Each structure stands twice: as structure tokens, then as C-alpha cells.
Amino acid sequence: MTATHDIQDDELLALLLGDEATVPRIRPRDSALPAPLSYAQQRLWIEQQYDPSSSAYNLPRAFLLKGQLHAQALESALAHVIERHQILRSRFVEINGQPFQEVDHQARFCLDRQDLRTYPAAERKAMLDRQVQAQNTEPFDLSRGPLLRAQLLQLADQEHALLITLHHIVSDAWSNAILVQDLCEAYRISTGARPHQQLPALAVQYADYAQWQRDNQASGQGLESGIAYWQSYLGDDFPVLELPTDQPRLKTTGQPAAHCHIQLPQALKQQVDSLCAREGITPFIVFLAAWQILLSRYSGQQDFCVGVPNATRHLEETQALVGCFVSTQVYRTRLDSRMSAVELLRRLRKESQAALQHADIPFELLLDNLSFERSAEHAPIFQTLFNWRVEDNTATLLQLGDLVLEFIDSDLPQAKFDLSIDAGSSPTGFYASIEYNAELFDAATVQRMAQHWQNLIQAISQQPEQALADLALLHPLERQQILVDWNPPALHISKLPVHQRIAAQAALTPDAVALLLGNERLSYRQLEQQANRLAHRLIAEGAGPDIRVGVAFERSIEMVVGLLAILKAGGAYVPLDPEYPQDRLTHMMQDSGVGLLLTQAAIGARLSIPGHIKVIHLSLDAGDLSAYATEAPATHVDPLNLAYVIYTSGSTGMPKGVDISHEALTGHTDVAIGYFQLSAQDRVLLFSSLNFDGFIEQLFPALCVGAGVIIRGNEVWDSESFYREVIDNGMTVADLSTAYWFLIAQEFARKGPRDYGQLRQVSATGEAMPPEGVKLWAQAGLNHVRLLNTYGPTETTVTASFLDCAEYVSGVRSLPTLMPIGTPLGGRSMYVLDDNLEPVPAGVVGELYIGGPLLARAYHDRPALTAERFVVDAFGQQPGGRLYRTGDLVHYRADGVIEYIGRADHQVKIRGFRIELGEIEARLLQCAEVREGLVVTLDSANGKQLAAYLVPCDPTLASADLDTQKARLADVRAQLKASLPDYMQPTFWVLLAQLPLTPNGKLDRKALPAPDPALAHSDYVAPATELQTRLAHIWQEVLKVERVGLHDNFFELGGHSLLATQVVVRVREQLGVELPIRDLFGAEHLLELAEKVQGLQTAANPLQDELARTLALLKSLSSDDIEDLISQ
């Protein structure tokens, strides 16, 4: 085997062969006795026991043979190779619960031959592809040798395909060259081209190495110092690498593999070689560094581990042996964004040298000496592999006369990891192959990753002194697409403020109905005159530009008149919800600095108003404004003057004010008219409360086009009241809080399709849209009503993006776990950025930043918070532009649509896993029994735990007794367990009649009741049945623990893979059940395992059960009865 670069294997040999004299020699052992498995074999054996039908560890090799082939000689040659290497005709057996290997003397090799010459060329090619795939996917039975099979397909008179497949437990990549060399020599012998009668015998066999490894590496000073090094280097906390995936992870064992093959440009090879020469490193270091940076950029993590295979052939006796010697070394990735690329390269070089010095510590042995969270959900320690290939030139060795060999590509059918890469060098340049789990990643995504990896290699080679955060991940054209093409063009903002546009509309259609509330109606003329009169009064009281005026109203026509009047007076309104707690209202009045308060008499009497605030009671029926002019006051407002100050919740527990300018209000009004498609013929629902910014786009855009505004009263309508308003008032457009929309979607779906009058568009806003609601929308027969999912923080002026849900309602697109938030609206630019404020590629999660002229001016009198949340816009064309940090985690789809992931502060870690609570909530809503769901984290003595708050479809369940609730929750728990990993399962469950809402209609998390521990898992429950007791005893024996309860987890008690095999053996011996090891891995606790074993007993013993019933019947018969039966 040759290599074009000094790579790890060569460095290892140079480093360790010099010390060979001090290493105990491998001696032949008694081949009549079973041999232990090497550490590498042990891991592979356990993997195969876990899933006996898996072909993930098949090693296929396919060759095209051109020339005159002697098929019988080839079969004889293959048999000679198998005879020479005992490992190829070995089998694997269990003795007292431990795996061993022994030569299978019954093993017989037969070359399967098929003649395809009679088929047309195209069909021959298809048949060859199918045979390659079939050989790759057919699993091996490790209990029978030989663990090498071969098939010869004759394609033409002078052309054959040879398909050779081995199991990894008997071979590795290094062994390929040995096998081909031996096959070549054996073929020459079989055809008489060599005078020898057989291949020379080997001095030692692989089983001798396995015995030597167990005898010499199980203890000793070298072992202790090696393990001490790895423990010190790796530490004891191993974050799980969590790459964003295109599809959710399913609980399957398939992991179908797909591959992305890359040939790097020759120019890049020259740059890498030049860098390597300057720094005294190998391309392995450069490529590994780029892989680590790529994974960090995609995952958002700077600390994780990468596995790197190593040949582990430092002993002279192992050089010519076929077998599984390869081990895996772990490189701990600890990146700092300000570290330079060359610093990383130099650090990796030192780490590589240290790893080589301790390369004789088997990874499997290292696992037993590291502390980490074991899970069936992912591989231990590392979840991705980087392999530097040694170039294989062995194809040129198999030549005899006209017989020439070429390799046939045959990718492995199953992925061992979610993502791994093989890279190497050849005379034509660098190449790589990325293997990925096709159930998780789309081909386009991996192709993008491959290009980004190349971009990083180029950036490292060209600018090694650059900081890691500044290395270019994106191609310039991709960067242009993300930053420019996926954002809307610049918005032209009218100089005419909203209140003047409404005045112009009143002059155009004075008698049109502007406002509707119950039986009340107000025309545009009346609205304009009343607002003008009140504006004059406000000016007389001191209102003007940037003067804040508080407004505290019940939902009424006066409320709208009051807001419009404040704008006409040049002031800025500050909404104050009378339903808020008094201390909150007091804080808002004092913090905003309002000097005037506009309210109604009944409301004002309930408020505790600071003495310095002038109070104006507004009643349109009182006639107290009759003295003021009906013409608009001659006020002027600058576009940057305040239009309103709206308060949102703050992290300190007290609300914070958001200052919105007239320019932002005017600009968004135009944008809303566009995406609502408003005209004078519309009737628009004013649903939101005054202090929720959705109120703004439900009111002002409609009034600016002459539409009628239907004001909801103080009471939130039930679904039937909403429906009556739609029909009776000709409602055409409704903008609803997401929680309320989901409520009416459920009720409308329950009613079934019916007439919805003139209703043409509904939007849901304020929270993440549950996909289940979209399905219900279609079931209600509302396909013809345009459904929008809108998104926007208050700081970006109401709504910043929208998604037309038509494709999801119609079923053209399947529903995602979380609904996208769409694309940015005019006046905003949206950027998905990483922690270093660099744009991330499509599919990669980042924080959403929003720029553009429609941002809020600031947080009111909060300069430090303003500076923290509004940062410099480095991407826009506007001088002095800013970006608002939303705190929302999102990613781009490949088409530029933004998908919402969750709040950064709702992202939690449970048992080391990063979790989006929204994903669990989405799964809960897919359960038929659940109407609404919310998941939160709670702190407990055992760390953070998940609590699920559910509103059941059956309203009586919320008040049912504990036993009834537990029984009904069992189905929900089972469904969640089937779709989510164990670390995403809630510990606590709370059933509510309804989720608590704030006055704005949003979820009120602070009002959630504390969970009842009785609905959580108990700490210890003793086994109850004989089977449970016997299983508990088996666990106690294997794990060496004193007590095992029904809810104990095998791995949390200290179990691991090899101990799991001992449990399987004891279950077989003591209970007579063949327990698949995967069932033990998949069982959450002893109780679940007992249920699985009981099911296996029932399935395995139908004959015994029938015999037992027959015997019991016979025992009940008398002698005469038996005689009668015999005589019949």
C-alpha cells in the first residue's frame, strides 16, 4: 500500500517501529482453542448483535476484469487466499456470555457465477448495478464462516465483474492491498504461471494478534499512561454534535447511506501543498481543520469531538495480516472565533503527534475509562468521522497477460454516522467522499456543505493568519443571494403621515362607514370631525411633537377617535390596558413620561393616576368637544417624530417601552395595505387589544383605503360569535392572535365546511403557528380563504415577514414540524447570522436580525438596552443603518423562505442535549387527545426537567381523578416516545381546562400551575411480577448493584454495550427467550423491558401453550373418557 503524502499511518510506523524491540512479540497460539476478540472486533460484534440485519459494516470491493479469464482458477485462487488467512474462515460464537472467534472447519467457499452475455448492454449494466447493490446490502451471519463472499458476472467474452464482500470484523482498508496482492499471486499459481503450489504460510494469524492485544494491553504502565493522556486531553464532558438536518430523526435502524464525491481543483492542491511546506504539516492537518470549522459553523458549537481512524499497524507481524486492526482516535475540537487559522493548524499538528504517541490505546478500551452520557440515540464521544485515505494503487498489481483490472464504484448502503468524510490525495489532486444518512440530509444540503468545506480549505490556504470567524464560508455569489436577493427592494415611504391620509380618505368618501361596533356606526366624516375636535383640545392641553399622551379605553369607537386625535395633535400615544395590574400601569405612566391621559370616566375612576398627569375624559355623546373646530389642526410632524410608545415584557420583570416613529408607522401602513390586498370594499376586524401592536395594522391601513373597521367588544368572542360577525357584518379580512386562530380553527373543523360569507383572508400573528391548525383550516372547508402566518417583533413595527400558507392548506407541501415565517416585507431586511454576525448558509440555524428604515427609534429612555439590541448594520446600503437582534432562532430554506426554530431563550439543554421546546410542543399537537400543548423546563434536584402542560380534547379530563388522568396520558406518552428521543420526554404532566392567556391573547407562562409530582415517574417501584423480579435480579448480577426498580434505566445504572450482551445471554439461559440486544437498548426502564420479554415469550411459545392446554384437558378426563377417545 502506498501513499502520496506522509500521513498518519506512515508517521505512526516511523514513530513506533524504532521501539519495536521493547514491545512483546506476537506469538502463535493454540489454534484449536477459541480466541478472544480484539477490542475493535468486540465493538463490531456488539453492533451486529444490536441489528443482525444490518449491512452497515459490509466492506464491498468490485472489480472489472478485461481479458481472457479462467473462472475456475479465480475460484481456486480465492479459496487459497481464504485458506491462508484464518480470519476469513473464522466464525464468532458466545461462550458463557462472552464472544470468541474460532476457525470454522465447516466453512466452504464457492464462487457464485452468472452469465449475463445474452442480455442487451443497457440491461446488463442495470443488472450489474442491482447485483452490486444486492451484495452490498446482504448482511453476514457472524456465526458462520467464511465471512468473505464473491460473485463473478460475465458481461462479455472478454469482460467480467468480480464482486467481493467482507465483513469489517475480519478486514479493514489496509487489508485491501494484502487481499489483492495475495489474490494476484494465487491466481498466477492456479493458472500455472507460478511454479509454487500454494501461498506461503503466515507466521502468525489475526487471532494471535487478538490474544496478544488482550494479554498485553489490558494492563501495564503503558496502558495507564496512555489512558491518563486521553483522559486529560479529552476531559469528561462530551457535547453531542448537533448538526441541522433536513428531516427529523426517526427511530429506525436503517440509516440508508448516500454519498457526495468531490474532486478538488488542481489549483487548490498547489495552495495547500505550499501552505504545508511552509508550516511543516501534512494536508491531513489542513483538511481536518477545515472539517472542524465547517462542523462548528453548521452546528453553532465550538466544542465537540471528531473521530479519526488510524491503521494501528505498528508491529511488524501485523503488516501482512488481513484483519480488523483499525482503531479510532478522538480529536477534541475546541475553537475560538478569534484564533487564527494557522494557530489551529499548529495546535492540530501537536495534537496529532501526541495522538500517535498514544495510538496503541484501543478506542474501545478508552470508552470504558471515560465518563459520558450513554444513549441509544447517538454514537458515544463523537458523532462524525474524518478519515484520511491512503491511496490504493493495488489495481495495477492484478495483471496477467491481457487481463486488466479496474475498480467499480460501490458505495456502502448504510451510513455508520450521520455524516463522515473520507479525503485523500492522488496524482490528479485531492479528492473526498462524504457519506451521510439519507434519512436526515438531502443531497443538495450535503453538496452545499462540500462546497463550503472547499471554500474553507481555500481560505485557510490563502489567508492562514485570518481569524477563524473571518474565514469565508460562502461563495461571493451565495453571499449576494442571501444578503441581497432574498431581501425586498428599498421601500419608498410617503411623506404624508397616516392621519393626513385618513383625512384625505374622509374627504373622498365622507359617508362611507369607517367604524362598526355592535349596532353603532361611524362614518368617515364623523370620524374625521370628532378626531379634529379632540386634537384641538389636546393641543390646548399641551400635546405636540414627541409629547406622550396616555390612552386607557375600553374597546370602543372613542378609542379610535382618541388615537387619531393624538396623531393629529402631533403627539405620540401610549396605550395603557385598564386590565393590567395597577403597579404595571403606574410603571408605564411614569416610565413613558406621559403628561396627559385620555380615558373614559368609568375607566379613569379605576386607575391610580399620578397627580402630575392631566386627565381628559372622552365621551362622544357628552358634547364637550362641540366648542372645538371640525377642521384639522395645522400641525406638522417630522417623519422621525414619535407616533406611539408601546410596552412589551422585559427581562427585569417590568415592561419596556418601544418608540415607533411616524416614518415607520407610515411605511408599514403602506406595506400592510399591500400584503392584506386592502381596498375600500373590505371590512377589516379590529381584533387585538390596544396595547398589542397588531392593533396598528388592523386599524390604520384599513382607514387609509376607505375600508370599514369592525371593532371587537371587550369580550373575546367564542367561535360561533366570530362566525356570526363574519356573516352579519360582511367581514373580509381578520388578523388574529395565533392562540385565538388555533382555537377557532379547531371549532370550525369540528363544525365542518359551511358558508363563510365574504371572508377572504385571515392571518395569525404573535406566536409560532401550530401546523396542526393548518390541517384543521382545510378540514373546515376554508381552503378558499387565504391564510397567512405573519411574524414581527414590536421593535420592527408590527409585522416584518409573512408566509402565504396556501401550499400547506392544499396539501401541495407536507406540513413541517414548525411553520415557516416566510419572507421579509417591504421596509425590512432580514439576515440569519451566527455569533460573529456573519451570514449562515441555507439550512444552518442562526439568530434572526432585522434591518431597514421601519425599525423602532429606540427603547424609551433605555440607551444601554437600545445599544445592546440594535447593532450596526454592516450589510445594508443605508448610512447609519441598524439591525435589531430578535433573539429568534431561524434558518433559510433553499428557496430563501425563513423557517422558525424557536426562541433562543426557549432552547434548553437536558442531559447534555440541546432541545427546542417547540419541537416537543409540535409533536404533542399531533396527538389526537391533545387540543393545546406547552412545554417548559423546571429546575429540580436532578437538574433541568421537562414539564408538559396539556389542554385535552375531552374537557372533563382536566378535572378527573389522578388514576384517570394517568391512564389517558399513557397514550400521549406512548405517541411521544415513538417520535422523540428519551431526553425529549417530559417528566411532569399537567392537564388544564385551558392555557392561561395574557390580556393580549398570548400565553401567560407565569400563570402556569406547578406540576403534581404524582404524574411524574416515581423514584423507586419494586418489581411486582415473577418476570420483573427475575429480570431485576439479572440486572443486579450484571451491573453489580444492590437494587433495581421498575423505572430504573440500564445505562443510567452503569450499563454499557458489552454488559448488555451479558444480559441477553442470561435472559436466554434463565428465561428461555432470545432477546434482541436492540430491545434492551430501546427499553426506557426495567418495566418496559419486562413487557418486551413477555411479548417474546408469548410469540415464541404457542406450541408449548397448546400442549399445556391439551395436557390439562387430558388430566381432567376420566379413564372411561380416555378409552372412548382412543376407540374413536
What residue spans define the domains of the chain? 23-211, 241-387+415-484, 498-892, 911-1015, 1026-1107
**CA pair distance 1120, 484, nearest whole angstrom:** 97
Q: What are the angstrom distances between the C-alpha of 484 and each of 82, 792, 830?
A: 62, 20, 10
Would you state the cell numbers that stand for residue 62, as one nine-digit string? 468490485
Pick the CATH number of 498-892 from 3.40.50.12780, 3.40.140.80, 3.10.20.30, 3.20.20.370: 3.40.50.12780
Ordered alpha helix ranges (H), 554-612: 557-568, 582-592, 601-604
Alpha-carbon dihedral of residues 457, 461, 465, 471, nearest 10 degrees? -30
Q: What is the pLDDT of residue 912?
A: 44
Q: Is the pLDDT reported for residue 21 higher than 50?
A: no
To 5 degrees, how large is the angle CA 515–CA 521–CA 523?
65
Would you state the cell numbers that stand for residue 199, as one nine-digit string? 501461498
Q: What is the pLDDT of residue 705?
A: 98
Per-residue pLDDT tens digits for 429-447: 899 999 999 999 999 999 9
Is the domain spanning 241-387+415-484 CATH 3.30.559.30? The answer is: yes
Where residue 269 falls among pLDDT bands split at 50, 70, 90?
very high
DSSP-assigned letter for residue 496: S
Per-residue pLDDT tens digits for 1019-1058: 578 899 999 999 999 999 888 878 898 988 887 676 766 6
Where residue 219 falls among pLDDT bands split at 50, 70, 90?
low
Q: Is the pLDDT reported for residue 210 higher than 60?
A: yes
CB 128 within 8 A of CB 153: yes
Per-residue pLDDT tens digits for 591-642: 999 999 999 999 988 888 999 999 999 988 767 788 899 999 999 999 999 9
For 1049, the enclosing helix (H) or strand (E) is none
Give me the phi and psi of 676, to 5 degrees please. Answer: -85, -15
DSSP-assigned letter for residue 484: I
* DSSP-assigned letters across all residues of 800-831: -EEEETHHHHHTSS---SS-EEEEEPTT-EEE
For 1085, the enclosing helix (H) or strand (E) is none
Residues 6 or more apart whose Cβ sits within 8 Å of residue 1053: 1035, 1039, 1041, 1044
Domains 23-211 and 241-387+415-484 share a fold: yes
**CA pair distance 1025, 431, nearest whole angstrom:** 59
Q: Is the pLDDT reported for residue 659 higher than 50?
A: yes
To 5 degrees, how large is the angle CA 997–CA 999–CA 1002?
45
Q: What is the pLDDT of residue 401?
A: 45
Q: What is the pLDDT of residue 673?
A: 98
* More confident site: 864 or 903: 864
CB 531 within 8 A of CB 561: yes
For the segment 779-808, the average pLDDT, to the nearest whole number, is: 97
For the segment 906-917, the average pLDDT, to the nearest whole number, is: 60
Question: Above pLDDT 70, what percent of the chain?
Answer: 89
Ranges 584-588, 848-852, 1083-1087, most confident? 848-852
Q: Per mean pLDDT, which range of 107-116, 833-842, 936-945 is the poorest?
A: 936-945
Is the domain spanning 1026-1107 CATH 3.20.20.70? The answer is: no
Is the domain spanning 23-211 CATH 1.10.760.10? The answer is: no
Q: Is the pLDDT reported for residue 1126 higher than 60?
A: no
Where residue 1115 falls among pLDDT bands split at 50, 70, 90?
low
For the segment 541-554, the average pLDDT, to the nearest whole number, is: 96
For the segment 415-421, the average pLDDT, to the nearest whole number, is: 92
Q: What is the pLDDT of residue 981?
A: 60
Would you state the cell numbers that stand for residue 465, as one nine-digit string? 493568519
Q: Is the pLDDT reported for residue 867 higher than 70?
A: yes
For the segment 467-477, the average pLDDT, to the nearest whole number, is: 96
Per-residue pLDDT tens digits for 223-250: 888 899 999 999 988 888 999 999 887 7
Q: What is the pLDDT of residue 999?
A: 61
Q: Is the pLDDT reported for residue 84 higher than 80?
A: yes
* More confident site: 1050 or 105: 105
Looking at this protein, which amino acid is placed at residue 1120? D
* More confident site: 196 or 820: 820
Average pLDDT, rounded, for the chain: 88
Please tell me the CATH code under which domain 911-1015 is placed: 3.30.300.30
CB 12 within 8 A of CB 314: yes
